[in-house]
Structure 1
Amino acid sequence: MAYFSSSSSKNPIKLLHFLTILSFSFSWASSPSPSIHDLLVSRGLPKGLLPEEVKSYTLSDNGTLEVLLDEPCLTKYENRVLFDSVVRANLRYGSLIGVVGLSQEELFLWLPVKDIIVDDPTSGLILFDIGVAHKQLSLSLFEEPPHCKPQGILKNQVRKQKGFEAMR
Structure 2
Amino acid sequence: MAKQHLLLVVLVASILHATASSLETTSSASNSTVAAAASTVYDVLEQNNLPRGLLPQGVQSYVLHDGGALEVTLPGECNFFVSVAGKRFHFRYGSSVAGVIQSGSISRVSGVRVQAGFAWLGFNQVQRAGDQLNIQLEKSTQSFPVSAFAQSPRCS
Per the TM superposition, whether the score is higher than 0.5 is yes
**Measured at CA, do residues 106 and 39 of structure 1 come closer, stay the same or move farther in structure 2, by a change above 3 Å?**
same
Rounded to whole Å, the distance in 1 between the matches of 2:64 and 2:112 is 18
Runs of 4+ in 1 over 4 A off after TM superposition: 28-33
Q: Which amino acid aligns with 1:47?
A: R
Rounded to whole Å, the distance in 1 between the matches of 2:38 and 2:140 is 35
Alignment correspondent of 2:42: 37
SS in 1 for 2:66: coil
Alignment correspondent of 2:153: 146
What is the number of residues matched between the two proteins?
A: 121
Alignment correspondent of 1:112: 122
User: Which structure dedicates a bigger proportion of its chain to strand?
Assistant: 2
Deviation string for 1:22-48 (max 9, x for gaps)?
Answer: xxx79x659485211111010010111
Deviation string for 1:45-95 (max 9, x for gaps)?
Answer: 011110011111000012100000011110111301000000010111100
Alignment correspondent of 1:94: 104
Rounded to whole Å, the distance in 1 between the matches of 2:117 and 2:68 is 33
Alignment correspondent of 1:56: 61
Deviation of 1:110 after TM superposition, in Å, equals 0.5
Alignment correspondent of 1:7: none
SS in 2 for 1:128: strand
SS in 1 for 2:152: coil
**Measured at CA, do residues 76 and 95 of structure 1 come closer, stay the same or move farther in structure 2, by a change above 3 Å?**
same
Rounded to whole Å, the distance in 2 between the matches of 1:52 and 1:98 is 22
Deviation of 1:137 after TM superposition, in Å, equals 0.7
Which consecutive unaligned segments of at least 5 residues does structure 1 have? Answer: 1-24, 150-168
Deviation of 1:101 after TM superposition, in Å, equals 0.2
Rounded to whole Å, the distance in 2 between the matches of 1:112 and 1:42 is 25
Rounded to whole Å, the distance in 1 between the matches of 2:37 and 2:140 is 39
Q: TM-score, normalised by structure 1?
A: 0.67
Alignment correspondent of 2:140: 133
| CA RMSD, Structure 1 to Structure 2 (Å) | 1.9
Alignment of 1:46 with 2:51, yes or no, is yes
Rounded to whole Å, the distance in 2 between the matches of 1:46 and 1:136 is 14
Alignment correspondent of 1:16: none
Which consecutive unaligned segments of at least 5 residues does structure 2 have? Answer: 1-28, 84-88
% same residue: 26
Alignment correspondent of 1:156: none
Rounded to whole Å, the distance in 2 between the matches of 1:48 and 1:129 is 17
Alignment correspondent of 1:3: none
